[in-house]
């Protein structure tokens, strides 16, 4: 949520967040929000588009028709959602049968507890890849594909999690610059990006648990004034020597500089 948010573009309500933090205490309110985000944040996003931004309104990832906002589902996507729903119904039926055989408590421990943990980990990763206390929100006028990509943050998740997740958290900037980079080239690409754009590349060495708590305690964001927006230098010459897969993939010829 953003303090002084632009209606229709940013999530409003930052003022209320600050008021609640003042009323209940910054620490307790931040801890509660952390628990809610990690615990039910992902289901809330899937079911009614929580924190998804005003553009998509109240959306639902299982019902791609009214009364939910349909902006999320262009062209043939609604058909794909209905097909996915069939799979969900079948899986739910299987779980119901398994629950009858082994009992609801055991099913909860074997299936739903890992499911909730996986959701929490997904939210944590996404949160820390795209959020920090000094990373600005960009208006439509200020946003560009490359500027948004460079406002992603790489962090030290350690060798174990990097091995499990193919360095998705510690090489995430490269993923946003070019989503076609395979994971086995992500470290090489990240090193090239950091060397070519040392002032633009963002890496935060703060331990993950501290960064997460700090980000949550300072969650209400101030809408960044134009003077505070990060601006990157002209960079065509700096691109010389970069690996060929560092070209922006979603938008052909997207500029590297403002």
pTM tops 0.85: no
Distance in angstroms (rounded) separating the CA atoms of residues 130 and 135: 8
Q: Per the structure block, which two tokens stand in for 223?
A: 């809408």
Residue 38 falls within a domain, yes or no? no
Distance in angstroms (rounded) separating the CA atoms of residues 229 and 142: 8
Residue 248 falls within a domain, yes or no? yes
From first CA to last CA, the distance across the chain in angstroms is: 26
Residue 100 falls within a domain, yes or no? no
pLDDT computed for residue 248 by the predictor = 37
Run of H or E residues at 104: helix 104-107
pLDDT computed for residue 114 by the predictor = 93
Total domain count for the chain?
1
pLDDT computed for residue 79 by the predictor = 95
| pLDDT < 50 stretches in the chain | 220-258
pLDDT computed for residue 231 by the predictor = 33
- Residue showing tokens 């960079």: 235
- Which range marks the domain in which residue 143 is found? 131-258
Q: Is 143 helix (H, G, I), strand (E, B) or coil?
A: coil
Residue 59 falls within a domain, yes or no? no
Residue 124 falls within a domain, yes or no? no
Residue 24 falls within a domain, yes or no? no
Q: Confirm if 176 and 156 have CB atoms less than 8 A apart.
A: no
Distance in angstroms (rounded) separating the CA atoms of residues 69 and 60: 8
Residue 183 falls within a domain, yes or no? yes
Residue 108 falls within a domain, yes or no? no
């Amino acid at each position: 949520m953003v303090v002084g948010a632009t209606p229709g573009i940013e999530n409003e309500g930052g003022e209320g967040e600050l008021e609640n933090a003042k009323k209940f205490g910054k620490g307790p309110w931040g801890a509660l929000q952390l628990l809610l985000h990690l615990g039910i944040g992902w289901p809330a996003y899937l079911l009614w588009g929580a924190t998804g931004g005003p553009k998509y309104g109240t959306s639902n990832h299982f019902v791609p028709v009214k009364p939910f906002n349909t902006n999320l589902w262009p062209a043939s996507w609604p058909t794909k959602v209905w097909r996915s729903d069939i799979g969900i119904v079948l899986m739910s039926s299987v779980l119901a049968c398994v629950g009858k055989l082994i009992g609801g408590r055991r099913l909860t421990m074997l299936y739903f507890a890992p499911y909730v943990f996986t959701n929490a980990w997904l939210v944590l990763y996404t949160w820390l890849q795209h959020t920090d206390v000094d990373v600005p929100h960009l208006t439509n006028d200020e946003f560009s594909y490359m500027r948004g990509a460079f406002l992603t943050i790489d962090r030290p998740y350690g060798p174990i999690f990097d091995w499990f997740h193919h360095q998705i958290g510690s090489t995430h900037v490269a993923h946003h610059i070019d989503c076609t980079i395979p994971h086995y080239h992500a470290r090489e690409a990240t090193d090239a990006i950091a060397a070519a754009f040392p002032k633009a590349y963002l890496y935060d060495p703060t331990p993950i648990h501290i960064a997460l708590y700090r980000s949550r305690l300072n969650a209400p964001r101030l809408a960044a004034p134009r003077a505070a927006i990060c601006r990157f230098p002209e960079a065509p010459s700096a691109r010389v020597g970069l690996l060929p897969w560092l070209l922006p993939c979603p938008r052909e010829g997207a500029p590297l500089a403002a």
